[in-house]
Chains A and B, each alone.
Chain A
Amino acid sequence: MRRSAELQKFIDPSHLEDKETLTVDGLPLIAVASPSTMEELSRILQSLFENDLSVLVTGNGNRLHVGNPPTRADLRLSTLDLKGILEFDQEDGVIEVLAGTPLPQVRNLVNSEGWELPLDPPGNAPTLGGSLASAAFGPRFGHPRDFVLGLGMVMADGTQTKCGGRVIKNVTGYDLMKLYLGSYGSIGVIGSAWLRLLPYPESKKVLKVSFQKDDEGFKDSLKASRYTSVRVACLTNSYPILEASLGSDSMNLILEIAGDEKAVERDFNELTNAYRADEIDDDVLLRIRSNQNSSPGASDSLAIHFRVLPSKLPVVWSSLNKLGFSCFSYPNRGDLFASLDPNQLTSDTETLVAVRTLASDSGGSFVLERAPLRMKREFDVFGTDPSLSEITSSLKETFDPRGILNVGRVSGRN
């Protein structure tokens, strides 16, 4: 932790200030550098690199709870001033945006021209850069990897580089984009991105399907969520915040169907005929989205995101219930969110071993999205696969040779 006065000889003071202390997993940060152009970002990183100063990169702070505890950071590098829409090609449905731009701003702009932004991560005005760096997603759209066409990056030594482009099909050179997405700022700082937009759906409806028994819910939810026009499917039972608004059925499946008007109409009719389903207000989608990010209970609760094969969801879900977790899931994608007050745990190790086994037995993976510091210190939150530890470390060392970017945060504590 340093104060800006100590850093002024390295960084232009006009981009530097001390802010209220932000503590990330026990590491306090006071000085904040806030570049507003790619050049400034590049100059700042070059200077930090040359002087062996390390940073923690932040957007609007929505996903700072995800990651292993940082092992060093002299200051915080905020992208909040690096904002703006650089180009919006309304004809081709692509847009180029600077990293610090809040997604709601982008969404409003593109919606007004008949396009949909295929990024809907939870949180308070999440920035584009933070969402991409942490591969954040919401109930509607999956991992951002399918929608990012190009990235403007600044590497650890300040070099500006690009990968991808603005066109929707591209195999020109290695696909480095995939590595940067979800790398939590540990191998380069995302400065800007070209995104592919989707046509705004002609029609949408939200439905609540109620099941009286859990096994009925498990059996039918996958089938119901695979209707052609379903784009959100959220299965929940006893998930405290969400459930309060949904009533007392054993299980609820919230569906959003969207797209061609005739297709939506038909799916709506079929779903309401086949299940106990009612149309409900679409604000439930906002509640689902915010639940994904916050866990009921204590602020340092344990929240785990699983990705498993959809057919394994019932087993994983019931096993987690037995361990004391509350769950909700996007069954069509195999996403399951589980949370628990960690004070209820009898043994951290036993729970984590069980979690790891559940994920691997169900063809999937998990991330401890929230965990008390004691657990984060003991377990890699990404449940690292030991067979990949060598290439993981090698990638980090090659792209960030002096170890100055978000040190210790990613898998393998790199």
Chain B
Amino acid sequence: MKELVNKIETIVGPENVLANDSDLLAYEFDGLTLFSGCPLAVALPKTTKEISSIVRLCREASVPFVPRGAGTGLSGGAVAIEGGIVIECQRMNQILKIDEADRYAVVQPGVVNAELSDAVGHLGLFYAPDPSSQQACTIGGNVAENSGGPHTLKYGTTTNHVLELELVLPDGEIVRLGCPAGGSVGFDFLGAMVGSEGTLGIVTEVTVRLTPLPEKIETLLGVFPDIVSACRAVGEILRSGLTPASLEISDQRTIRAVESSVYAAGIPTDAGAVLLIELDGLKEAVERQADRVSEIAMGCGASRIEVAKDEAERQRFWRARKGAFGAMGRLAPDLFVHDAVVPRKHLPEILRKICEIADHYGITLSNVFHAGDGNLHPNISFDRRDPEELKRVIAAGEEILRLCVDAGGVITGEHGIGVEKKEYLHLVFSESDLATMSLLRDVFDPGRVCNPGKIFPTTRFCTEANPKARGYDRVPFS
């Protein structure tokens, strides 16, 4: 193994290989602290060719490799769970091209998400997918996770914005998928690559679509007595035919944590929940829609609606939303951020049941989530040094996932399966579904050297997938 590390040093230079125990400590986890794995070494390549050479070496030595961006992932995806070499893309952080006329940009995978929007803002453009971690996470990580964000409701997730990828395949070959004009001819490998969690290759260049900045943005904060009425308002707004840019809910525990943190936005701490509504588009339309959503929210029990007076106030509202996970650090040393999706009409009932589950297990649970997409984030604050508490946390989490799947939902909307949820995949998919998925893996990585130990369950399961959960109950099973 020393020999492999030496060879990698000759490719990227010894200063770009980390192999000391103390350096490797930082790579044992990602944003989820429940799963750890220590790599043999971390390589910090600068070019596609270097990545290709490292991959070839790993493959020859049958040593696994794990692509990594900023390590903000929340499902253990960038953790070297089976050891091997971590290939971190952060030094590949250049924006290579901005095309204003055709509205696209070409970036290296290590470019931080928010930096791209910053770089094109003066052209009246932005990069739409905006995970709450956008100040840190990389575009490469976003592609691998098919990341979403608070504006997914109107603008879609990463997959709707990626036009072309350059990729190092698990055998070291370099290919390009897609083209800057978008659309695909032949099999849509590009589409399958997005969201494959770094298990089918390493993304080395990304061409993304840029979106025109809206003329007018109106941001409203609805204050509700409880989370169920806030959820009802979401349903009513969507049923009225409006598609806001975002509909985000924070519950009381989240509000209190935020208000006692640096992200405080002056939200009343006795509010049961707040609904952050953002509308964007042409001025005349947005103004009219703002009146309509305010009316709907009040009709669903909101005690008041605040409208951001200016950009500074809008940013304050958003800081409170995007800083929520950070603020939870005040509640306990560890945070388990869950991520499930349900049909939006079930939100009120599901939220009520989630609170019952939390009470039953005696855990500290808060909710801050992308309500417009039905994408829940029940967050459990805990101390992983307390084994008894940890057991309850895991059991409650599993019950929540089952609840969401039974309602026709799925177990992840944006954070991925990674290590965290691989043993729960059978809640959603049957064995034949999973066997079909693994055919794709066979095409790209038959030797299972590229980010092994992720996505696919390690145990065979005896429970049949719940067809109702996927809404396929009307289609009889064989």
Chain A residues within CB distance 8 Å of chain B: 37-39, 42, 86-87, 89, 91-94, 96, 114, 135, 143, 145-146, 150, 152-153, 155, 159-163, 165-179, 181-183, 187, 191-192, 194, 198-200, 202, 226, 228-229, 259-260, 262-263, 265-267, 307-311, 333-335, 362-367, 382-385, 387-388, 391-392, 394-395, 398-399, 410-412
In the bound complex, do residue B432 and residue A160 qualify as a contact, i.e. CB atoms below 8 Å apart? Answer: yes
Q: Which of B183, B186, B241, B477 contacts A410 (CB 8 A)?
A: B186
Q: Which residues does chain A contribute within 8 Å of B416, judged by CB atoms? A: 171
Chain B residues within CB distance 8 Å of chain A: 99, 101-102, 145-146, 148, 152, 156-157, 159-160, 169, 175-177, 179-192, 194-196, 212, 215, 235, 238-239, 241-243, 281-282, 284-285, 288-289, 341-345, 370, 373-375, 408-417, 425, 428-430, 432-437, 439-444, 455, 470-472, 474-478
In the bound complex, do residue B428 and residue A173 qualify as a contact, i.e. CB atoms below 8 Å apart? Answer: yes
In the bound complex, do residue A159 and residue B242 qualify as a contact, i.e. CB atoms below 8 Å apart? Answer: no
Sample 18 A-B pairs with CB under 8 A, ordered by A number. Answer: A38-B475, A89-B343, A143-B183, A165-B341, A169-B341, A172-B411, A173-B433, A174-B195, A176-B436, A176-B437, A179-B189, A183-B188, A187-B187, A199-B241, A260-B288, A262-B284, A266-B284, A267-B282
Q: Which residues does chain B contribute within 8 Å of A42, judged by CB atoms? A: 478
Q: Which residues does chain B contribute within 8 Å of A226, judged by CB atoms? A: 212
Q: Which residues does chain B contribute within 8 Å of A333, judged by CB atoms? A: 182
In the bound complex, do residue B191 and residue A171 qualify as a contact, i.e. CB atoms below 8 Å apart? Answer: no
In the bound complex, do residue B102 and residue A310 qualify as a contact, i.e. CB atoms below 8 Å apart? Answer: yes
In the bound complex, do residue B156 and residue A263 qualify as a contact, i.e. CB atoms below 8 Å apart? Answer: no
In the bound complex, do residue B430 and residue A161 qualify as a contact, i.e. CB atoms below 8 Å apart? Answer: yes
Q: Which residues does chain B contribute within 8 Å of A308, judged by CB atoms? A: 181
The 5 closest A-B pairs by CB, nearest first: A178-B191, A411-B186, A166-B471, A364-B181, A260-B285
Q: Which residues does chain A contribute within 8 Å of B241, judged by CB atoms? A: 114, 199-200, 202
Q: Which residues does chain B contribute within 8 Å of A412, judged by CB atoms? A: 186
Q: Which residues does chain A contribute within 8 Å of B145, judged by CB atoms? A: 171
In the bound complex, do residue A307 and residue B183 qualify as a contact, i.e. CB atoms below 8 Å apart? Answer: yes
What separation, in Å, do the CA atoms of A135 and B182 have in the docked complex?
13
What separation, in Å, do the CA atoms of A304 and B25 have in the docked complex?
56
Residues A175 and B159 in contact in the complex (CB < 8 Å), given A228-B282, A260-B288: yes
Can you name 20 extra interface pairs (CB under 8 A) apart from A86-B475, A260-B289, A311-B102?
A39-B476, A91-B239, A92-B374, A165-B428, A167-B343, A167-B373, A168-B344, A169-B370, A170-B413, A173-B434, A175-B194, A178-B191, A179-B440, A181-B188, A187-B187, A199-B242, A200-B241, A266-B282, A388-B177, A395-B187
Q: Which residues does chain B contribute within 8 Å of A150, judged by CB atoms? A: 470-472
Q: Which of A152, A169, A383 contacts B413 (CB 8 A)?
A: A169
Residues A391 and B185 in contact in the complex (CB < 8 Å), given A170-B413, A262-B284, A262-B288: no
What separation, in Å, do the CA atoms of A194 and B425 have in the docked complex?
20
Residues A309 and B180 in contact in the complex (CB < 8 Å), given A171-B415, A175-B159: yes
Residues A175 and B195 in contact in the complex (CB < 8 Å), given A262-B284, A263-B282: yes
Q: Which residues does chain B contribute within 8 Å of A194, judged by CB atoms? A: 471
> Within the complex, what minimum Cβ distance (angstroms) separates B404 from chain A?
9
Residues A367 and B185 in contact in the complex (CB < 8 Å), given A165-B470, A170-B341, A175-B146: yes
Residues A87 and B186 in contact in the complex (CB < 8 Å), given A169-B413, A364-B181: no
> Within the complex, what minimum Cβ distance (angstroms) separates A336 from chain B?
10
In the bound complex, do residue A382 and residue B476 qualify as a contact, i.e. CB atoms below 8 Å apart? Answer: no
Best-buried of B341, B416, B436 by chain A (most CB within 10 Å)? B436
